[in-house]
């Protein structure tokens, strides 16, 4: 269904019209689950639409599709969806005999979501998804980095709202749901999140699952 729609959109000549009719109205996008051959095509096509129309109002992105090499596409999509509020990413956890898909939730990915604590280096344009409020992640224990994760959450935690006032568009993260499959996270690192609840940021962790 997505494939046919994307093919038609990509052939379309009038981007202004497209913008007001389709992309503008699209508030939720879910990568299809299941069809492995289709996913990279759909993800790439969607990114191409976002880049060409530059008018995304997307508030929800859901990626639960095990597939190859999706990480950079997902990061690029996030760079073009400044209105995003809800983000779900479930990495595939390979079982013996499965293809080993590259995870999306790598340390580099988590650093990409980090809000730098000053404007000195890159300016506000380096913040991606400034309106992000709710985050659901399922990560593979072998490639998950709790340090990078905790840094990212703390960078989007605005206990007094003032520290980050330079970022006019930035909203505080409100809810994080994290599932780490295959090992337990380092509790010393995790405990750095003690205290975020005081301002209403809820972080839920489930780790050590198989
Ligand atoms: C996209 O739109 C924003 C503002 O709506 C503008 O600042 C930016 O330059 C545009 N980017 C491109 C590549 O057209
Ligand atoms: C984001 O997710 C929350 C919790 O599921 C939901 O209540 C809310 O409507 C969602 N917001 C948008 C803009 O989709």
Fill in the DSSP letter of residue 98.
S
CA of residue 131 to ligand 1 center, whole Å: 17
86 within ligand 2 shell (Cβ under 6 A) = yes
134 within ligand 2 shell (Cβ under 6 A) = yes
d(CA 14, CA 45): 16
Q: Are 123 and 138 in contact (CB under 8 A)?
A: no
85 within ligand 2 shell (Cβ under 6 A) = yes
Q: Which atom of ligand 2 is found nearest the CA of 175?
A: 4
pTM, entire model: 0.86
CA of residue 54 to ligand 1 center, whole Å: 6
Total domains in the chain come to 1
Tokens encoding 177: 């749901």
Residue ranges of the chain with pLDDT lower than 70? 1-21, 34-36, 66-69, 96-100, 118-126, 160-166
- The 10 Å Cβ neighbour count of residue 22 is 16
Q: Hey, is 73 helix, strand or coil?
A: helix
Find the domain containing 139 and state its range: 3-208
**Residues 33-56: pLDDT tens digits?**
766 677 777 888 888 888 887 778
Report how far apart, in Å, the C-alpha atoms of 206 and of each of 15, 20, 151, 203 are: 44, 41, 18, 10
Domain with residue 183: its CATH number is: 3.80.10
Q: Hey, is 203 helix, strand or coil?
A: strand
From the list 12, 10, 7, 20, the residue with the least C-alpha distance to 48 is 10
Closest-lying ligand to the alpha carbon of 175?
A: 2
């Amino acid at each position: 269904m997505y494939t046919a729609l994307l093919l038609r959109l990509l052939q379309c000549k009038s981007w202004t019209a497209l913008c007001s009719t389709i992309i503008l109205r699209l508030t939720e996008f879910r990568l299809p689950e299941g069809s492995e051959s289709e996913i990279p095509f759909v993800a790439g096509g969607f990114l191409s639409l976002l880049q060409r129309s530059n008018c995304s109002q997307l508030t929800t992105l859901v990626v639960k599709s095990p597939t190859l090499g999706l990480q950079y596409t997902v990061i690029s999509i996030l760079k073009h969806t400044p209105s995003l509020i809800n983000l779900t990413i479930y990495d595939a956890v390979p079982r013996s005999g499965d293809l080993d898909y590259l995870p999306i939730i790598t340390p580099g990915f988590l650093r990409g979501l980090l809000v730098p604590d000053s404007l000195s280096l890159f300016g506000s344009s380096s913040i991606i998804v400034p309106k992000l409020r709710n985050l659901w992640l399922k990560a593979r224990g072998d490639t998950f980095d709790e340090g990078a994760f905790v840094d990212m959450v703390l960078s989007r935690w605005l206990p007094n709202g003032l520290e980050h006032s330079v970022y006019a568009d930035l909203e505080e993260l409100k809810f994080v749901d994290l599932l780490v499959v295959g090992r337990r996270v380092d509790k010393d690192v995790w405990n750095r999140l003690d205290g975020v609840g005081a301002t209403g940021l809820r972080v839920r962790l489930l780790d050590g699952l198989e």
